[in-house]
Chains A and B, each alone.
Chain A
Amino acid sequence: MSEHNSHEHKDHAHGYGHYIIIWFALLVLTGLTVAVAGINFGNLTIITALTVAAVKSFLVMKVFMHLEVENRMFTLFVYTSIFFLAISLILLFSDYSFLQG
């Protein structure tokens, strides 16, 4: 694996414009989530907020952190960590959701 190749590969992978477009999308999403928070949907508000946050993180990790040009293993590792956290959350709630009194 040659360092020279990966630099050229990165270079041609993205220009300045690409990142600026993603940044703009992130700002739009932020605006969206603030606007939605003002309207009271009850439970749906927090779910929307978290979904938007997840999309924003996905964009940051994929584009800004270069996961899309990196070795596929890195993406697999990220998904594994998130998966572990998700399962911890689910199992944790198996306790709290079913407590009586």
Chain B
Amino acid sequence: MSDTTSAQGTVEHIHRDDEGSRLGMWLFLFTELLLFGGMFLVYAVYKFTHTEQFHIAAKELNTLFGALNTIILLTSSLTIVLAIVAISRGQKYLSLFFQLMTLAMAGGFLVNKYFEWSAKISHGIYPGSEKLLEKESGEILFFGLYYVMTGLHGLHVIIGMVLIGVMTWWTWKDKINQSQFVRLESAGLYWHLVDVIWIFLFPLFYLIS
């Protein structure tokens, strides 16, 4: 907290509030929860009103790809938190290793997604395609939600990768170090939320066949 001030208002200590920084990230995460939460609400209503067709449409998705992506993200969650433990113990290079592992796995997730989506699109199933429009309305809704929700999630993965990339750079340059690493913690929080969202996306799209 700021300490002594002279009458002109100059401060002698720089204000620092790690708990506040983390709270700031949590508040942002709540807005993300509401963003995806709203879409999950839409999903819930349509699944209720078109149960059978959702079931049929879900069969088109590859459960193996989905499960693999789940494992990748869960592991990347582990590596980012281990990166935080490492830096809190002053182990800079171990922390860098874990951060790079996280980035690698995030990249792996996106590669997987690319294969999934291109397979679907090459089969003619994408929003607005003729093949999709011939299907039942429930199936059209399912795929509409699939593309929007996993697409938005993928966008968040990319953002997370950029964020963690910046953290890696800062760790390398010692701007993030043993005595100040709250930025890495906040980036970790964001990454974990991306993971949590996928934890719910996975069963709802891949496991209802």
A touches B in complex, CB < 8 A = yes
**Do A3 and B44 have beta carbons less than 8 Å apart?**
no
Majority SS of interface residues in chain B?
Answer: helix
A8-30 interface bits toward B, Cβ cutoff 8 Å, 1 = contact, 0 = none: 00110011100110010011001
Interface size on B, residues (CB 8 A): 45
Which chain B residues border A56 with CB–CB below 8 Å? 74, 199
Does A77 contact B34, Cβ atoms closer than 8 Å? no
Interface residues of A in 26-47 (CB under 8 A from B): 26-27, 30, 33-34, 37, 45-46
Q: Of the candidates A11, A34, A61, A66, which one forms a contact with B63 in the assembled complex, judged by CB atoms under 8 Å apart?
A: A34
CB distance from A28 to the nearest CB of B (A): 11
Contacts A23-B78, A30-B71, A70-B22 given; does A81 touch B30 at CB 8 Å = yes
Interface residues in chain A, defined as those with a beta carbon under 8 Å from any beta carbon in chain B: 1, 3, 6-7, 10-11, 14-16, 19-20, 23, 26-27, 30, 33-34, 37, 45-46, 49-50, 52-53, 56-57, 60-61, 63-66, 70-71, 74, 77-78, 81-82, 85, 88-89, 92-93, 96-97
Chain B residues in the interface with A (C-beta under 8 A)? 16, 18-19, 22-23, 26, 30, 33-34, 37, 40-41, 44-45, 48-49, 63, 67, 70-71, 74-75, 77-78, 81-82, 85, 88-89, 179, 185, 188-189, 192, 195-196, 199-200, 202-204, 206-209
